[in-house]
Structure 1
Amino acid sequence: MTDSTLVFIVLGLTLAAFVWGRFRYDLVALSALLGSVMLGLVPGEEAFQGFGHPAVITVAAVLVLSRAFERSGVVDVIAEQVLKVGERLFLQLLVLTSTVVVLSGIMNNVGALALLLPVAMRLAREHDTSPSLLLMPLAFGSLLGGLTTLIGTPPNIIIASYRGSVTGETFGMFSFSPVGVVVALAGLALILLLAWRLVPQRAGKASTEAMFDTANYLVELRVGEESKANGLTLRELHQELEETIPVLAVVRDESRRAGHTFFGVLREGDILLMEAGPEEMKLLEDKAGLSLGKDAQEKEKEDKETEDKEKAAEGEGAEDDEKAQGKNGTNNPESPYEVKHQDKNREKDEQKDKEKEEKKKGKNGVDTEGLQLVEAVVRTDSMMVNHTVTQLRLHNQFGLHLVAVARDGGRLKQRLHDIRFRPGDVLLLQGGESELAESLATLGCLPLAKRDLNLGQPRMLLVSIAIFAVAILAMLFDFLPAAVALSTAAVVSLLVGVLPLREGYQAIDGPVIVLLGAMIPVGQALDTSGGAALIAETMLVWGTEWPVVVTLIGLFVLSMVLSNVVNNAAAAVLMAPIAVSLANGFGASVDPFLMAVAVSASCAFLTPIGHQSNTLVMGPGGYRFSDYWKLGLPLSLVVLAVAIPMILLVWPL
């Protein structure tokens, strides 16, 4: 069996595993690398050289710099202005999408989306807009913005490095801008004109209460004298139940403590505020002997008595009005007694309305103020993916209670300990305010709750901008290669305190680094084995009767389709050798072919799995898999129609 055939088998299995999604893409890529070594396709001594490749180092440096921008407050200054946009949907789309396009050009596009996602959720909540109308355009805008510069997206970095290995000269920082900016503007125009028509509106998903239907699940349960829970800690109670039903608060002697901070034993008379549906209620009664804090019939009786009293009081008030009018002999509102009496009645009515409203709220649910509930979305690189809450030991290791899980815009009804988390799941968590941010970062979750903007320190803000500007100038004037310039900027940011060292390491997206480090040697094997040349020859045979531009369009479409089913960085690694082989076969310049791969590999608009940005908004926006192509297909066609002429204009054949 020839080497090229073996490479095709390895790549076929790898692509199938990527599409299947059972195993994370970094593990799949590493398996492909090790399999290639064992088959003799990649020399053993060169197996891990990909991890030192300039593209990998550059991606890691860009991720650190992106976090430094966030930490210094650069992005929050922009976000603060975005929040002032008002309630018009067109203006919200314009400002949000334009902002993410610009930010994605100067930092990693996934990082730019992650920073503006909470801002978009806050806008949706403040102006009662469905977040589904904002989040998909925001995600697509981050992809378009990544096209504009070298550091905007990993495919650009990969293609630039590959050009350096072929021609001896890499693409520069703004080599992608002439094509990328025009494509981004065309895509932005389409989003603004058609997004509100093509993006499905998922009503009522903007708030925690709507997403998780919290009020219908919160109950107060009393610990009785004969309850099995009497004398148990909350941890022992969970062990007794063999369930992870979250205790949000413990009420004792009219004082309430959040569940994650209560470590004592339960006593008779304690009231537990719990998240429980009908099945859990029966389990709590049977196994722990817990009962409702107040009998339902008794409560209904009290409510009826209160309503009767209110009606009687209203009748007395009407009689008083009639007597007052008779006493004064006039209905003239200018009468001093009449004015005073009306004011008094008005105050009574307002007080009654207020009490009714408070009572109505009480009937709909339990007060959750001070319970420190936060929403967070599971990222594609999260350690939670394919694990359960029991395996992760959320409470013991991270101090977090899992309260509820929403998927595809609706709350999951199954028991919490049975749920295996997926990328894009929205979690309702409870935890200490000081530990929440660090725990979520470690778990790989992005908080979605309304956040207070942290404007950072003005000095660090200016320092961060200055460091980045110097790195860009060093790249523009060829003082330093991109990998060295950006790595130096990242190290300086850590040294001067713009970003703590621990956060610098957390900023590096481990799975993406492993994916690139593993797939680069596999991509080189596709070239050295003759597999890329074989694919190029097949395309050349098909394209002999057509102009070269038709083959270029075919390459663009093939790369775009591939990027919708596998990671965009992997698509760029695999398509780059094919692009160069095609260019050599036609005797044309490699630049337009490589640029076509760079643009198309970053335009994964058709599915939620092609790019992390698409996956991140799936849960918060309540999208289904089939929703993406409705806006994504027209956007892909616009990108194709604009990109090809611009590539040929800027990078002639």
Structure 2
Amino acid sequence: MLDTLPVGIAPSTVAFVVLGVTLVAFMWGRVRYDLVALCALLASVVLGLVPAADAFAGFGHPAVITVAAVLVLSRGFERAGVVDLIAEQVLKAGERLTLQLTVLVGTVVVLSGVMNNVGALALLLPVALRLAREHDTSSSLLLMPLAFGSLLGGLTTLIGTPPNIIIASFRGNITGENFGLFSFFPVGAAVALAGMGFIVLVGWRLTPRRAGQAANSDMFDTASYLVELKVGEDAGANGLTLQQLREEIDEAVPVLAVVRDDKRRAGYAFYGALETGDILLLEANTDELKQLEDKLGLSVVREPDDTGKDSKPQAHQDARADADKSDGRSRAVDTEGLQLVEAVVRNDSMMIHRSVRQLRLQHQFGLHLVAVARDGTRLKQRLRDIRFQAGDVLLLQGSESEMHESLATLGCLPLANRELTFGKPRKMALSLGVFGLAIIAMLLDWLPAAVALSAAAVVTLLAGVLTLREGYQALDGPVIVLLGAMLPVGKALDSSGGAELIAESMLQAGSQWPAVVTLVGLFVVSMLLSNVVNNAAAAVLMAPIGASLANGLNVSLDPFLMVIAVSASCAFLTPIGHQSNTLVLGPGGYRFGDYWKLGLPLSLIVMAVAIPVILWRWPL
């Protein structure tokens, strides 16, 4: 396997170089983590660390199959109406912040134990935003606790988070017996309860109170930007389509509606040519407005309100404008029903580092970009110049029938729906029943986890709970590729002797210390790693190191693997360590440095609770 290595260079040295470069690329973030993982895999094959015949064996690994099945089942819960059922109950939480936090965090903890934790957060994120709006609560006080709760809940079961699945499979490879579905529950439940108690009673005070977050309706208050322009008889816009109009001024100006003969048509659905007397309802800044007047001869009917307050609240729905004042009539323009929706850019979205033109949002996806918010503030720059980042909050307009599919393809999560309902409650009992049978099959050892959950996912598709297209969309491609590529790389760290060298160094450094101190050190290293790379990658890399430490100390393997499983999911310090953290970055108006203020004490509490419970349940 290692005969292609340069003479005189130890395999472990090459493995360290490959992993070092990989970790730097993960932290750099300019290249998406799945592509980084593929490069690491191919480099390992070329350098002889991984046999060419086994290069893609990771994609058939039970851990990868299990993660894929859980993702499909999670999407099935969403489509079956789980989100509506949850929203109905959670929204009854009342006005007390501690009660809101208890209900939200408690719900996401429970859901994250039976479905993918990112999927659980995705279900509750719009609910939390609505709760914040209805009770005039700063969403920044709710969203970070919600994200951290999803990470805590994932610790409770095998299927709650990818690190648990990876660690269970790793144990099976060494001992011949995987961790079971509820093997993680004693530690996970203790940690989740302690973490939830801290967040609800004390921790929320460590989160920033932001007034300009996306949950605040003022962020996308179009009253400050809404303008109406009339097409005069001599206007250059006469006879142009909306697309031609945009091309004339070389701007991606969002036309929300066209009013003709007192009838309003949504901009995304207007494909005809403009005529004399048409009124365009659009968002435009001063520069764009000047171009529309100078180049196309459009005349202003009503200018934006400089105060940012319209005569009617919620400009999306209730804006009124006077038109055709020459004949003394006042004609109301109703903008209700324009299909506006807010969505957040996921950290695996195809939109990241790309612009509106590169994505061809309007032509390929049927979406008009109306506005973009970043770090809790609406961006004022031209829409065509914006390159999207993970956590950006977008205000989009499009057809209701196509909106959901377009957002899913782009990698965006809808937040506060505006006259849109994504999915209808259907076949909830069937979806939950199939999942329950899979759990029973796992508990009674009738089927391995990968087979039982895959069977449940297939039945979910066959029963029509999800369409086949939705099933494929549920598969988180970047995570699947990351796991499939990194599993052979992690194995190479072990087979090259690298994991043993690291373990020996840690053992020498703590040769006079009790084994429990080594466990604490392993916890800290794994936790720090999970905050700068994907938690699944952290589990893959740390598992062989933990096994080597247990072997070197001549103690039980299980407590070391459990420490890695828990610590790899403790990505509380940064917004980049876990997708849940990234998803709330924009809607909560957080900054990079906000996370550690709550995350650091929470991490210490998790470690203080987890290690004693692990040693009680799995003695050394």
| Interval of TM-score (by shorter of Structure 1 and Structure 2) | over 0.9
Partner of residue 492, structure 2: 525
How much has 1:287 moved relative to structure 2?
2.6
How much has 1:226 moved relative to structure 2?
2.9
**Quick one: distance in 2 between partners of 1:574 and 1:397?**
39
Q: Could you list the per-position Cα deviations for residues 328-372 of structure 1 after superposition, in whole angstroms to 9, with x for gaps in the alignment?
A: xxxxxxxxxxxxxxxxxxxxxxxxxxx999999759998642211
Alignment of 1:237-386 (within 5 A): 237-293=245-301, 368-386=335-353
Alignment of 1:33-44 (within 5 A): 33-44=41-52
- Distance change in 2, residues 1:481/1:357 (3 Å): closer
**Quick one: distance in 1 between partners of 2:412 and 2:593?**
24
Q: Could you list the per-position Cα deviations for residues 282-328 of structure 1 after superposition, in whole angstroms to 9, with x for gaps in the alignment?
A: 222233222212589xx99xxxxxxxxxxxxxxxxxxxxxxxxxxxx
Matched, 1:171 2:138: no
Contact 1:208/1:214 (8 A) holds in 2: no
Structure 1: which amino acid aligns with 2:247? Answer: Q
Partner of residue 405, structure 2: 438
Contact 2:227/2:303 (8 A) holds in 1: no
Q: What SS does the aligned partner of 1:618 have? A: coil
Q: TM-score, normalised by structure 2?
A: 0.93
Contact 1:14/1:32 (8 A) holds in 2: yes
Partner of residue 134, structure 2: 126
Matched, 1:481 2:448: yes
**Quick one: distance in 2 between partners of 1:357 and 1:611?**
37
Matched, 1:588 2:555: yes
Partner of residue 466, structure 2: 499
* More displaced stretch, 517-526 vs 197-206: 197-206
Alignment of 1:213-232 (within 5 A): 213-232=221-240
Alignment of 1:632-647 (within 5 A): 632-647=599-614
**Quick one: distance in 2 between partners of 1:249 and 1:145?**
44
Matched, 1:200 2:208: yes
**Quick one: distance in 2 between partners of 1:293 and 1:62?**
54
- Distance change in 2, residues 1:647/1:619 (3 Å): same
Structure 2: which amino acid aligns with 1:135? Answer: L
Contact 2:221/2:314 (8 A) holds in 1: no
**Quick one: distance in 1 between partners of 2:473 and 2:138?**
32
Matched, 1:566 2:574: no
**Quick one: distance in 2 between partners of 1:175 and 1:487?**
20
**Quick one: distance in 2 between partners of 1:497 and 1:401?**
31
Partner of residue 119, structure 2: 111
* More displaced stretch, 116-125 vs 150-159: 116-125
**Quick one: distance in 2 between partners of 1:488 and 1:421?**
38
**Quick one: distance in 2 between partners of 1:366 and 1:96?**
39
- Distance change in 2, residues 1:454/1:50 (3 Å): closer
Structure 1: which amino acid aligns with 2:201? Answer: L
Aligned pair partner of 1:407 in 368, 374, 382: 374
Partner of residue 61, structure 1: 69
Q: What SS does the aligned partner of 1:4 have? A: helix
Structure 1: which amino acid aligns with 2:449? Answer: A
Partner of residue 5, structure 1: 13
**Quick one: distance in 2 between partners of 1:87 and 1:641?**
33
**Quick one: distance in 1 between partners of 2:314 and 2:539?**
58
Q: What SS does the aligned partner of 1:172 have? A: coil
Structure 2: which amino acid aligns with 1:586? Answer: L
How much has 1:590 moved relative to structure 2?
0.8
The structure in which a higher percent of residues are helix is 1
Partner of residue 626, structure 1: 593
* More displaced stretch, 435-444 vs 514-523: 435-444
**Quick one: distance in 1 between partners of 2:92 and 2:293?**
50
How much has 1:85 moved relative to structure 2?
1.3
Q: TM-score, normalised by structure 1?
A: 0.88
Matched, 1:467 2:434: yes
Matched, 1:398 2:406: no
Q: Could you list the per-position Cα deviations for residues 162-190 of structure 1 after superposition, in whole angstroms to 9, with x for gaps in the alignment?
A: 00011111000000000000000000000
Partner of residue 383, structure 2: 416
**Quick one: distance in 1 between partners of 2:434 and 2:346?**
29
Contact 2:56/2:485 (8 A) holds in 1: yes
**Quick one: distance in 1 between partners of 2:242 and 2:508?**
71
Q: What SS does the aligned partner of 1:140 have? A: helix
Q: Runs of 5+ in structure 1 lacking a partner?
A: 301-354
Aligned-residue Cα RMSD (Å) equals 2.1
- Distance change in 2, residues 1:485/1:367 (3 Å): same
Contact 1:77/1:455 (8 A) holds in 2: no
Structure 1: which amino acid aligns with 2:397? Answer: Q
Aligned pair partner of 2:425 in 456, 459, 464: 456
Q: Could you list the per-position Cα deviations for residues 424-450 of structure 1 after superposition, in whole angstroms to 9, with x for gaps in the alignment?
A: 110000011111111111111111124
Aligned pair partner of 2:154 in 123, 146, 149: 146
Contact 2:139/2:215 (8 A) holds in 1: no
Larger Rg, first or second structure (1 or 2)? 1
Partner of residue 515, structure 1: 482
Q: What SS does the aligned partner of 1:251 have? A: strand
Q: What SS does the aligned partner of 2:480 have? A: helix
Q: What SS does the aligned partner of 1:448 have? A: strand
Contact 2:212/2:376 (8 A) holds in 1: no
Structure 2: which amino acid aligns with 1:199? Answer: T
Q: Could you list the per-position Cα deviations for residues 216-238 of structure 1 after superposition, in whole angstroms to 9, with x for gaps in the alignment?
A: 11111122233221111111111
Structure 2: which amino acid aligns with 1:195? Answer: G
How much has 1:461 moved relative to structure 2?
1.6
**Quick one: distance in 2 between partners of 1:383 and 1:241?**
27
Q: Runs of 5+ in structure 2 lacking a partner?
A: 1-8, 323-331
Q: Could you list the per-position Cα deviations for residues 140-181 of structure 1 after superposition, in whole angstroms to 9, with x for gaps in the alignment?
A: 000000000000000000000000011111000000000000
**Quick one: distance in 1 between partners of 2:16 and 2:92?**
53
Aligned pair partner of 2:507 in 536, 540, 553: 540
Contact 1:54/1:483 (8 A) holds in 2: yes
- Distance change in 2, residues 1:356/1:651 (3 Å): closer
- Distance change in 2, residues 1:539/1:43 (3 Å): same
Structure 2: which amino acid aligns with 1:180? Answer: G
**Quick one: distance in 1 between partners of 2:87 and 2:303?**
49
Q: What SS does the aligned partner of 1:554 have? A: helix
**Quick one: distance in 1 between partners of 2:619 and 2:156?**
19
- Distance change in 2, residues 1:506/1:294 (3 Å): closer
Report the number of matched residues: 595
Q: Indicate the percent of aligned positions where both proteins have the same amino acid.
A: 73
Aligned pair partner of 1:608 in 575, 589, 609: 575
